[in-house]
Amino acid sequence: MDKLRTFMMAVEKTNVFVGKMMAYVSLVCVAVISFEVIMRYFFGMPTNWGHETMLTLFAMYYVMIAGTAHFYRAHVRVDVIYAGRTRRTQAIMDLLTAPLFYLFVLVYIYTSWNFYWSSQMMNAGNTFLGIEIIGENSFTDWGPPLYPVKFLMPFGGVLLLLQGIVWTIRDVYTARTGREFV
């Protein structure tokens, strides 16, 4: 039982940590957007790197925050049906919908891994100090690599899957005993 608690605590602390890091990423997004708006509208000098950095950071934020959102149970629910129930009934309802959650997450991880891997294996003709570097790059003149951000898609999916496993364990315990797993 201690190993299970340790696993659950590690998953939850990881997702909370990632969520806190993504809060800082959102602050960087605000700074980059502000800079880009000032450069574009006040000086008439838009930047490729500002726009592309903003898109990349928001993409990273979006795919990495899912596990944190699931930790806080912040995903969409039908509260008309769910909110007024006892915690035990809510746990049973969560267990009934869990197969759909796992189907979605596993398909997401599989497809996003393929999406990342094709990006990683792309030969874009890049070299660094005479060494050929494989991987997809953006087509702008700035041309940052895209495969590191695309790797975060399956990684974020794994964090979401692990958090789902933790909630399933908690829900099974609550459904059987009527008490919260602590």
The tens place of each residue's pLDDT in the chain, 182 residues long, gives 799 999 999 999 999 999 999 999 999 999 999 999 999 999 999 888 888 899 899 999 999 999 999 999 988 877 788 888 999 999 999 999 999 999 999 999 999 999 999 999 987 767 778 888 788 888 877 878 899 999 999 999 999 999 999 999 999 999 999 898 87
**57 HSE (CA, 13 A, CB side):** 19
Residue 47 CB contacts under 8 Å (≥ 6 apart), including other chains: 35, 36, 39
pLDDT of residue 79: 79
Cα distance between residue 112 and residue 178, in whole Å: 37
Tokens in use for 178? 């009527």
Q: What is the pTM of this model?
A: 0.90
pLDDT of residue 16: 97
Residue 141 gets which letter from DSSP? Answer: S
Cα distance between residue 109 and residue 25, in whole Å: 23
